[in-house]
A and B are shown apart, each in its own frame.
Chain A
């Protein structure tokens, strides 16, 4: 009886250990956001998490990084974000186009939301309201990226001016297009 009890106990221990090991192997990584307020270190943390399989959280991480950078705005931040996105593209976490869009939406004067392959009369004018709304949203992202993160005041004000010019020129062009129909 004593012998049997030892075997059962050993088996139970083995099974518990095995189950613990198995549960460790299959549980997803915690995918926590960066815990530091230093942008360089935060980018390092995010890279680790992304490599560990948290790529689905990319957008949230990007937002966390922007928030951290807003706490310490400087021109240099633009380059740090660019390097990070190039790395993400090289690692296959983002496509090249996604990486470009993530960068340009926040750090370039040009509006990503104006990408189109068709002419203005046939494509842009029928959805002018949506185009302007998308541009407005992008302008607020540019305010974050250019103004609050990289202190590029001139860049942001040029983007703001571009927004107003596009609004005026599209209004005139679309009025002219509809008059010709």
Chain B
């Protein structure tokens, strides 16, 4: 029965229709109440791992990462072009050539630009990553560390139905892929922002995954900031001699793979862990 069906105006006559209309309204309100109850039960957060502050921190991290990428994209593109020109001009091994020296100086100057942008943007990045990490840390400690035993944690992860297939419930990404930094955080944000549709078991895994990723990113950023000062000093010295060091190329390569992902391993969404792909048992005795 379609309760929303509209009758033609000619049929509408309030008095005789009243009991039927009343029944319909009653049924409709009952349906709505039932829906509300079911939705409330489905969305009832039994563990609070992603309050709005964490979601906002994630969104902010994604935004800052995006800004940093945009800032670096142009300078890295320029570095690539200059490096290509240097190689095409067969400057490797002909460093004393005045043309090559000029190219090397230009390359070094662009490299310094890149270090400068990173130095400028990294503190913001470090700040937002740390904020997210600390909020999640607090939540994980309180919700999973202090309020749960290992048994209740297991039950949360199983979601009350141990035999059920979990493929649909578990989040489909597990950090550390070759994707852009901002894209990674954007995906985290999207997963978390739609957390009302996620179950407790997938939220616990998601929160843990993000937290460990943030922890690692935080350490990497701190280490990179330390290195920038050293690399800048060395390059300023190199500028006087106009040489390109292998270390310089290595740093540029590293920055590119951290920010923009490894071209060779562009994995948008990581696959399930090795053991979770269902396969028939294969005995070692089988041929």
- A residues at B contact (CB < 8 Å): 108-111, 114-121, 123-125, 131, 147-148, 153-155, 157-158, 160-162, 164-166, 168-177, 179-180
20 contacts between A and B (CB under 8 A): A114-B154, A115-B150, A118-B149, A120-B148, A120-B149, A120-B150, A121-B146, A124-B150, A131-B150, A154-B163, A158-B162, A165-B204, A166-B154, A166-B157, A173-B140, A173-B141, A173-B145, A176-B145, A176-B211, A177-B146
Residue of B nearest to A177 (CB): B145
Cα A132 to Cα B54 in complex, Å, equals 29
Is the Cβ of A157 less than 8 Å from the Cβ of B275? yes
Is the Cβ of A180 less than 8 Å from the Cβ of B281? no
Q: Which residues of A contact B31 (CB under 8 A)?
A: none
Q: Which residues of B contact A177 (CB under 8 A)?
A: 141, 145-146
We find that the number of chain B residues with CB closer than 8 angstroms to chain A is 41
- Which of B170, B205, B208 has most chain A Cβ within 10 Å? B208
Is the Cβ of B281 less than 8 Å from the Cβ of A153? yes
Kindly identify which residue among B146, B205, B215, B278 contacts A169, using a CB–CB cutoff of 8 Å: B205
B113 interfacial contact with A, CB 8 Å = no
Given contacts A171-B208, A173-B153, 9 further A-B contacts (CB under 8 A): A110-B162, A115-B151, A119-B145, A119-B148, A120-B144, A123-B150, A154-B278, A166-B157, A172-B211
Residue of A nearest to B277 (CB): A157
Residue of B nearest to A168 (CB): B208
Q: Which residues of A contact B137 (CB under 8 A)?
A: 175-176, 179-180
B43 interfacial contact with A, CB 8 Å = no
Cβ of B140 to closest chain A Cβ, rounded Å: 4
Is the Cβ of B149 less than 8 Å from the Cβ of A165? no
Is the Cβ of B141 less than 8 Å from the Cβ of A108? no
Cβ of B159 to closest chain A Cβ, rounded Å: 11
Q: Which residues of B contact A172 (CB under 8 A)?
A: 140, 207-209, 211-212
Residue of B nearest to A119 (CB): B146
Q: Which residues of A contact B11 (CB under 8 A)?
A: none
Is the Cβ of B140 less than 8 Å from the Cβ of A176? yes
Main SS at interface, chain A? helix
Is the Cβ of A160 less than 8 Å from the Cβ of B212? no
Is the Cβ of B209 less than 8 Å from the Cβ of A161? no
Kindly identify which residue among A117, A162, A179 contacts B157, using a CB–CB cutoff of 8 Å: A162
Kindly identify which residue among B149, B166, B281 contacts A116, using a CB–CB cutoff of 8 Å: B149
Cα A21 to Cα B273 in complex, Å, equals 65
Cβ of B28 to closest chain A Cβ, rounded Å: 41
Residue of A nearest to B215 (CB): A175
Cα A157 to Cα B272 in complex, Å, equals 12
Is the Cβ of A116 less than 8 Å from the Cβ of B150? yes
Is the Cβ of B149 less than 8 Å from the Cβ of A117? yes
Cβ of A62 to closest chain B Cβ, rounded Å: 21
Q: With A125-B145, A160-B275, A164-B275 known to touch, is A171 a contact of B151 (CB < 8 Å)?
A: no
Q: Which residues of B contact A166 (CB under 8 A)?
A: 150, 153-154, 157
- Which of B140, B165, B170, B278 has most chain A Cβ within 10 Å? B140
Is the Cβ of A173 less than 8 Å from the Cβ of B151? no
B48 interfacial contact with A, CB 8 Å = no
Q: Which residues of A contact B194 (CB under 8 A)?
A: none
Is the Cβ of A116 less than 8 Å from the Cβ of B208? no
Q: Which residues of B contact A157 (CB under 8 A)?
A: 275-278
B158 interfacial contact with A, CB 8 Å = yes
Is the Cβ of B166 less than 8 Å from the Cβ of A158? yes
Q: With A115-B151, A160-B276, A177-B141 known to touch, is A169 a contact of B157 (CB < 8 Å)?
A: yes
